[in-house]
A = this chain, B = another copy of it.
């Protein structure tokens, strides 16, 4: 409007000037000269006119009526606390349509439509919602739309908007019956540079990569671990680590209800406890110390100190130079140890109830998370029995032999044989979880209680999930003299474990327990293929960062 008015006015002035000149009789030359000057002036005036028009247009354009409603925020240094309520996406639904809300979320994706519109997917943890910025002549300027379209994915934004009911359900979001019509949009923290990979690709089911028309690239485990903070943001990882926290919680809740007490034992120890192999050495002031390979000795000592039922959730360190799918140099041990009254099968009874409680709890309380993981890494539903199968080692050996595995009565199980046994047990007993009891004495640590009736065997057990070991345990020797004898037979110098042996001299109850590898439980339950997927920052001989 302003532009047209200016042009009209200038044109009028030029016509007046021409009329004035024409009112005088002039020579041809003068006329020519005048004509030239007139043209020159006209040209100059036209240029001025155009410049003015341009300036006017520019001035008009910078009058941005939305300018207070979008922009980049300064670094939040907690200068103010306006006390606005920020909504969780999970609390938003169509029933609240028309309500004005504030939301802080990440920009998962943004999709510009021309220069008048921009669609967003906003994300909080694993919840997503659609948002849109639409140009209009009074509230949302084109400048604001342009700003919105240029926000990099993964930036954190603060949004004010109205909850609206979309015409059709938003299938690509977790909130499907509502979207946000944006009225204010601020960038709280902008993502810089190129993102290490595409989050959507990183959450795709493996099967999609095998399609012939696949247009996206698979994200390797290495790339994920190198960019772990970013990788955590995939919907699948959000679920996996919630399941992990769930297993710890279920473990503790059950044991608390059974009279167990939580303990914390030292991780820096003065002597390499269990023989000295696979132990990390620490420089400890003027001497050497070691990292505990398990809380074994300490939890037993605590039981001898009259805390009769104890558990610990703690770090465990193993200096094993191996790179398998199920080994890490550091992992979380869920350990328990308890005095029993008559028979170590009382411990198996506790473990039986514990695991059934954990498996049930996962199904009941973490169904949504399991479903999310399942989408990316499809796994067969984990089968277990209400009363866990207890198989004796000798019977397992018989079963394996019947199925073509050659092994001696007292041979240990290889990873391969364990898997085979898992398959056979599943076929015969329809369970992915079982206890293998009465291991050969020779393949167990020196402090394992020998079976009193069957020479060569011991009161010890491993538990298996999908054919892989997740727990090892036993009745322990609680008699100092027998312990010393067995230590010597294993070439362990009793002096090197004196504090431990002495714990049994002042009256010790019969006792036993076991250690569960937390990551293994989740890894095998979800059948994830590699244990590193269930450790936030996994450690192996080559991985110390991040």
| Contacts A307-B125, A452-B79; A188 near B270 (Cβ below 8 A) | no
Closest to A511 in B: B76
**Residues of B close to A159: CB separation below 8 A:** none
Partner of A537, one of B83, B266, B459: B266
**Residues of B close to A412: CB separation below 8 A:** none
Partner of A268, one of B192, B232, B329, B518: B329
CB distance from A146 to the nearest CB of B (A): 20
Pairwise interchain contact A342-B81, C-beta atoms closer than 8 A: yes
- Kindly specify which of A13-21, A31-39, A255-263, A385-393 makes contact with the partner chain: A255-263
Pairwise interchain contact B238-A301, C-beta atoms closer than 8 A: no
CB distance from A502 to the nearest CB of B (A): 8
CB distance from A503 to the nearest CB of B (A): 4
Pairwise interchain contact B241-A307, C-beta atoms closer than 8 A: yes
Pairwise interchain contact B262-A248, C-beta atoms closer than 8 A: yes
- Kindly specify which of A173-181, A208-216, A423-431, A538-546 makes contact with the partner chain: A538-546
**Residues of B close to A500: CB separation below 8 A:** 546
* Chain B CB within 8 A of A86 CB: yes
Q: In whole angstroms, how far apart are the Cα atoms of A530 and B172 in the complex? A: 58
The contact string, 1 if C-beta is below 8 Å from chain B, for chain A 232-269, is 11000110011011001100100010000111111111
Pairwise interchain contact B156-A284, C-beta atoms closer than 8 A: no
Pairwise interchain contact A242-B267, C-beta atoms closer than 8 A: no
**Residues of B close to A84: CB separation below 8 A:** 341-342
**Residues of B close to A539: CB separation below 8 A:** 266, 268
- Kindly specify which of A3-11, A311-319, A414-422, A462-470 makes contact with the partner chain: A311-319
Pairwise interchain contact A287-B544, C-beta atoms closer than 8 A: yes
| Contacts A241-B307, A509-B104; A459 near B268 (Cβ below 8 A) | no
Closest to A126 in B: B306
Partner of A81, one of B124, B230, B345: B345
**How many monomers of this chain does the complex have?**
2
Pairwise interchain contact A546-B125, C-beta atoms closer than 8 A: no
Restricting to A286-335, which residues have a CB under 8 Å from any CB of B?
Answer: 287, 289, 291, 298, 301-302, 304-308, 313-315, 317, 319, 321, 329-330, 332
**Residues of B close to A506: CB separation below 8 A:** 154, 191-192, 195, 229-230
Partner of A270, one of B232, B281, B308, B544: B544
**Residues of B close to A78: CB separation below 8 A:** 342-345, 449, 452, 459, 475, 510
* Chain B CB within 8 A of A139 CB: no
CB distance from A184 to the nearest CB of B (A): 15
Q: In whole angstroms, how far apart are the Cα atoms of A283 and B506 in the complex? A: 37
* Chain B CB within 8 A of A508 CB: yes
CB distance from A369 to the nearest CB of B (A): 11
Closest to A283 in B: B281
Pairwise interchain contact A342-B229, C-beta atoms closer than 8 A: no
- Kindly specify which of A93-101, A114-122, A376-384, A477-485 makes contact with the partner chain: A477-485
Pairwise interchain contact B507-A306, C-beta atoms closer than 8 A: no
Closest to A263 in B: B536
**Residues of B close to A505: CB separation below 8 A:** 191-193
* Chain B CB within 8 A of A23 CB: no
* Chain B CB within 8 A of A410 CB: no
| Contacts A78-B475, A285-B319; A264 near B332 (Cβ below 8 A) | yes
Pairwise interchain contact B265-A536, C-beta atoms closer than 8 A: yes
* Chain B CB within 8 A of A364 CB: no
**Residues of B close to A245: CB separation below 8 A:** 261-263
* Chain B CB within 8 A of A201 CB: no
Pairwise interchain contact A269-B544, C-beta atoms closer than 8 A: yes
The contact string, 1 if C-beta is below 8 Å from chain B, for chain A 104-147, is 10100000000000000001110000000000000000000000
**Residues of B close to A479: CB separation below 8 A:** 75, 189
CB distance from A386 to the nearest CB of B (A): 21
Q: In whole angstroms, how far apart are the Cα atoms of A525 and B89 in the complex? A: 40
* Chain B CB within 8 A of A450 CB: yes
* Chain B CB within 8 A of A40 CB: no
Q: What are 21 sample pairs from A and B whose C-beta atoms fall under 8 A apart?
A: A78-B343, A78-B345, A84-B341, A106-B507, A125-B306, A156-B509, A190-B507, A195-B506, A230-B305, A231-B305, A238-B306, A263-B536, A264-B315, A264-B332, A264-B518, A268-B330, A270-B545, A287-B544, A298-B537, A500-B546, A503-B546
Besides the known contacts A192-B505, A233-B305, 14 further A-B residue pairs in the complex with CB atoms under 8 A apart: A77-B459, A125-B308, A232-B307, A238-B306, A241-B307, A245-B262, A249-B256, A264-B332, A267-B267, A267-B330, A268-B280, A268-B291, A284-B541, A287-B544
Q: Which residues of A are interface residues toward B (Cβ below 8 A)?
A: 75-84, 86, 104, 106, 123-125, 154-156, 188-193, 195, 228-233, 237-238, 241-242, 244-245, 248-249, 252, 256, 261-271, 280-285, 287, 289, 291, 298, 301-302, 304-308, 313-315, 317, 319, 321, 329-330, 332, 341-345, 449-453, 459, 475, 478-480, 482, 499-500, 502-510, 518, 535-537, 539, 541, 544-546
